[in-house]
Amino acid sequence: MARVRIGAVGYLNARPLVFGLERRADRFEIRFDVPSECARLLRNGVTDLGLVPAVEFLQDAEYRIVPGVAVASKGPVESVALYARRPIAEVTSIALDRSSNTSAMLVRVLSAARWRIDPTFVEAAPNLEAMTAGCDAALMIGDPALFAQHEALGLEKIDLGAEWTAFTGLPFVWAFWAGRSGALAPADIDVLQAARDAGVEGIDAIAHAHAAGDDGRRERIAAYLRNRIRYHLDGEFVEGLRRFYALASGLGLAPSRSPAFYD
């Protein structure tokens, strides 16, 4: 049987979902990229399955979601944020981290539906100082957002996970495994769900591996993965995903579609 070609996100918050998958070279061939690149590779057929931004699902009616597995949050997420030089009500321009798709869409949704602003959006490389030199605010995601030294730049951090939950009362789903219909066998889904469970159990080991011997950093990583990120996709998490899709569609930012899962 041909191996399943997987595109995974290299950020810390995704590590628990790929925990141990590298040891399944008999079944999976894995590469790591930023979220937007994972989406592009899946869209172009370079990979069979991708840990893709939630908005990527809306781009192809053939896409199916692996049930029960996600990178999600309820309340503050810490690693997806808008960094602003002025109060959000006064923001007229926002630089969007070009490695993001879902977070960029969320900024647009919150701008229109929660903050009631109509800023100019500019895509940019994820460099906080450069982004905020030319715009009132900047979107950063992943590890660069988690460890950004924004206070030194005089910036306010607006946590997008917290903003979404305050607005809707629901969790936010940032990413999940998705592929086209027929790309996975039921046994593959079982392995992906088992990897999730092993990764949640292995958070301390993941934190140790990424802390480079810094105990303070290790503790922060472990707390972030354990307390801020959720890895299951069910119940209110699916409802949060539906709400996001409905708002994006209602604002004319995305096509209308409901989540569809592998059997």
> What value does the mean pLDDT of the chain take?
94
User: What distance separates the 2 farthest-apart alpha carbons in the chain?
Assistant: 57
pLDDT score recorded for residue 97: 92
pLDDT score recorded for residue 207: 94
Q: Which of 165, 173, 215, 139 is nearest to 69 (CA)?
A: 173
Do residues 68 and 180 both lie within one domain?
A: yes
DSSP 259: -
User: What is the full DSSP assignment across 183-216?
Assistant: S--HHHHHHHHHHHHHHHHTHHHHHHHHSTT-HH
Do residues 192 and 223 both lie within one domain?
A: yes
Sheet with 93-97: strands ordered across: 120-124, 93-97, 137-141, 80-84, 156-159
Pairwise pLDDT comparison (100 vs 262), residue with the higher score? 262
| 261 in any annotated domain | no
Confidence of residue 145 (pLDDT cuts 50, 70, 90): confident
Confidence of residue 259 (pLDDT cuts 50, 70, 90): very high
Do residues 112 and 37 both lie within one domain?
A: no
Enter the tokens of residue 110: 């919150």
Choosing from 122, 147, 168, the residue where a domain stops is 168
User: What is the full DSSP assignment across 52-81?
Assistant: EEGGGGGG-TTEEEPTT--EEESS--SSEE
Parent domain of 216: 4-72+172-250
pLDDT digits (tens, 9 = 90+) for 149-195: 899 999 999 999 999 999 999 999 999 999 999 999 999 999 999 99
Choosing from 117, 145, 168, the residue where a domain stops is 168
Our count of domains for the chain comes to 2
Do residues 63 and 179 both lie within one domain?
A: yes
C-beta neighbour count of 119 within 10 angstroms: 17
d(CA 202, CA 101): 28
If you average pLDDT over residues 56-71, what whole number do you get? 95
If you average pLDDT over residues 213-218, what whole number do you get? 90
The fraction of the chain above a pLDDT of 70, given in percent, is 100
The distance of Cα 137 from the centroid of its chain, to the nearest Å, equals 20
pLDDT score recorded for residue 99: 83
d(CA 59, CA 62): 9
Is the confidence at residue 67, as pLDDT, over 80?
yes
d(CA 92, CA 83): 13
Pairwise pLDDT comparison (221 vs 25), residue with the higher score? 221
| 202 in any annotated domain | yes
pLDDT digits (tens, 9 = 90+) for 121-133: 999 999 999 999 9
Is the confidence at residue 25, as pLDDT, over 90?
no
Enter the tokens of residue 29: 């061939």
d(CA 31, CA 40): 13
Is the confidence at residue 144, as pLDDT, over 90?
no
CA 114-14-37 angle, to 5 degrees, is 80
The distance of Cα 37 from the centroid of its chain, to the nearest Å, equals 12
Do residues 176 and 121 both lie within one domain?
A: no
Choosing from 124, 152, 168, the residue where a domain stops is 168
Do residues 92 and 164 both lie within one domain?
A: yes
| 152 in any annotated domain | yes
The distance of Cα 78 from the centroid of its chain, to the nearest Å, equals 12
The fraction of the chain above a pLDDT of 90, given in percent, is 85
pLDDT score recorded for residue 1: 64
pLDDT score recorded for residue 260: 96
Confidence of residue 256 (pLDDT cuts 50, 70, 90): very high
Please, what sign has the CA dihedral across residues 145, 77, 106, 241? positive
CATH code at position 150: 3.40.190.10
| 121 in any annotated domain | yes
Do residues 178 and 162 both lie within one domain?
A: no
| 189 in any annotated domain | yes
Do residues 68 and 181 both lie within one domain?
A: yes
pTM to 2 decimal places: 0.93
Do residues 85 and 163 both lie within one domain?
A: yes
Q: Which of 103, 226, 94, 86 is nearest to 164 (CA)?
A: 103
Is the confidence at residue 94, as pLDDT, over 70?
yes
